[in-house]
Structure 1
Amino acid sequence: MVVEESDQISGIITDRDLIANLLTEESELSVLTAETSGDDVRAADVMTRDPLTVPADAEIPKVLRQMNEVGARHVPVVEDGSVIGMITLDDLITHVAGESAHVSAQMDNVAGIIRTESTHD
């Protein structure tokens, strides 16, 4: 979830943020202890502040590098100053795996053609 203040992205809340802040005994906000019910926890208390954002036309390898540099698994996609989506590490891995499978199939096809042509010579 993207958190905005004054039409600007101020943070994001991910499953990892919720687990780290609310479901670990080490956290002062943990709902696992008797001291905290979670009723008074605000988005600002658990969000990742000033997250990495990427434009809609960002190239996948660059996005992967940026995500790796900051340790992000979720990145808001922005266009004309507005959030238009969220890209996740899982999305990118699925995309790259699909591209790799496509390239591999093409290489197998080319190898088959070369084998066929070399046996006819």
Structure 2
Amino acid sequence: MSTTTVKEILAGKSAEILSVTPDISVYAALELMAKADISAVLVLEGERLVGIFTERDYARKVILRGRSSRESSIGELMTQNLLTISPNHTVDDIMSIMTENRFRHLPVVDHGKLVGIVTIGDAVKAVMEEQRQTIAQLSSYIAGDLTT
């Protein structure tokens, strides 16, 4: 059971939140995503979170429908009605939410303000770090027992 919180995950990440506006072209958003080596971008109107655009959205809503990425806007194709999490959620919470809803990115909102995004990769890294720490503690405990 993981006790790491979203707040702790965000503390280890860059504070920069990459985002686009709904009127930007899909092509421009894809350029940004490629340059930043990310697979999703949040969509904001001012400071208000209105959607997310992912590589999956691109594949299913642009490519498979024969649309043009240069002529389509993010606002037409983004995923809306987002599920968000708070900084107090745990890694177990987010892994459960991601698994049940079949997505890999969760925007983090604190008191109505967007504070970050957590990915499935972030969750896996947190679990691996907890396991590494547990193994180190157990190894130290065992080594201590063997030397007494």
Same fold, TM exceeding 0.5? yes
Q: CA RMSD in A?
A: 2.0
Structure 2: which amino acid aligns with 1:68? Answer: T
Q: CA deviation at 1:76?
A: 0.3
Contact 1:17 1:46 in 2 (8 A): yes
Are 1:110 and 2:141 matched, yes or no?
yes
More displaced, 7-16 or 79-88? 7-16
Alignment match, 2:123:
92
Matched AA of 2:56: R
Q: 5+ unaligned residues in a row in structure 2: which ranges?
A: 1-40
Structure 2 residue 116 is matched with structure 1 residue 76: no
- One-letter code aligned to 2:92: P
Corresponding residue of 2:42: 2
Partner residue in 2 for 1:11: 51
C-alpha contact (below 8 Å) 1:52/1:72 kept by paired residues: no
Q: Deviations for 1:26-67, whole angstroms, at most 9, x for unmatched residues?
A: x11x3xxxxx43333121332222122001121221121111
Amino acid at match of 1:53: T
Structure 1 residue runs of 5 or longer lacking an equivalent are 31-35
Equivalent of 2:90 in 59, 65, 70: 59
**What number of residue pairs does the alignment pair up?**
108
Percent identity of paired positions between Structure 1 and Structure 2: 26
